[in-house]
């Protein structure tokens, strides 16, 4: 990939110049790094070999990620991510290692976005708008640790107490296997219940990409960590889900006992 932290993958160097362009750049890099620390975690873990040189985790605007050496030029084209993440891999529990990388990844995303802001002369109003847009999304750390889901649960419980006596089959998909694998309820069965279902899940976030729940998308819940995922993010179709009794997400499936 060209330019590592600055490139958009193969092709010419990429330089967003407006607030909306910088925000799209931020979302793309963020999605790539979330992917590395969740759905692609096994591959990411293996690439962080402590026997290698100082390695960094890069996210790209096209939602891809890469573990690589830092740029050789000084100063680099863009701010560099945390250096030497691979050295800590075997010195702590896997979840602690991933959380640590997530925190540094969040800091890097902010630094890249505001580097663009400074480079292209964003004024106070533009910087505030950019930060507000970024701050409306959960951090990589919140997505990786599941705290974003906990926060949305707490928020949801405050606004949906009146729905506490609803049938179990419509409460977070825990009532049956069929409801567990999909949050989409056929509208012709109960239009009112469908609207209530949408409200109940509006703050739920995908454990892979971190985006919000949408009523027209297929979702599946992991029976181990209880995180929800877009079917497309974990490559599970509604037809395939019907034959899965206990679903384990890629992260839980790849967990190994660490010394």
Give me the percent of the chain exceeding a pLDDT of 90. Answer: 45
The pTM is what? 0.58
Average of pLDDT values for 28-34?
A: 97
Q: Which of these, 44, 144, 31, lies nearest to 89 by C-alpha position?
A: 44
Range in 14-18, 50-54, 147-151 with the lowest mean pLDDT? 147-151
What is the reported pLDDT for 257? Answer: 46
Cβ-based burial of 29 (10 A; exposed 0-12, middle 13-18, buried ≥19): buried
């Amino acid at each position: 990939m060209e330019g590592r932290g600055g490139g958009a993958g193969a092709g010419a160097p990429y330089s967003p110049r407006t607030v909306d362009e910088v925000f799209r750049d931020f979302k793309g890099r963020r999605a790539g790094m979330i992917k590395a620390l969740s759905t692609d975690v096994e591959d990411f873990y293996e690439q962080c070999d402590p026997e290698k040189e100082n390695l960094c985790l890069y996210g790209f605007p096209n939602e891809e990620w890469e573990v690589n050496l830092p740029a050789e030029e000084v100063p680099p084209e863009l701010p560099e991510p945390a250096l030497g993440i691979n050295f800590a891999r075997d010195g702590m529990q896997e979840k602690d290692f991933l959380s640590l990388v997530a925190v540094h990844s969040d800091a890097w995303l902010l630094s890249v976005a505001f580097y663009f802001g400074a480079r292209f002369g964003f004024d106070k109003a533009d910087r505030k708008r950019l930060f507000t847009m970024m701050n409306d999304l959960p951090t990589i750390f919140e997505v990786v640790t599941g705290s974003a889901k906990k926060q949305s649960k707490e928020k949801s419980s405050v606004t949906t107490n009146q729905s506490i006596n609803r049938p179990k089959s419509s409460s977070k998909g825990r009532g049956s296997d069929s409801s567990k694998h999909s949050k989409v309820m056929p509208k012709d069965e109960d239009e009112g219940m469908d609207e209530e279902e949408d409200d109940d899940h509006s703050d739920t976030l995908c454990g892979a990409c971190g985006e919000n729940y949408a009523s027209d998308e297929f979702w599946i819940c992991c029976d181990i960590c209880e995180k929800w995922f877009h079917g497309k993010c974990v490559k599970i179709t509604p037809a395939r889900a019907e034959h899965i009794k206990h679903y384990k997400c890629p992260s839980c499936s790849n967990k190994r006992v660490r010394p």
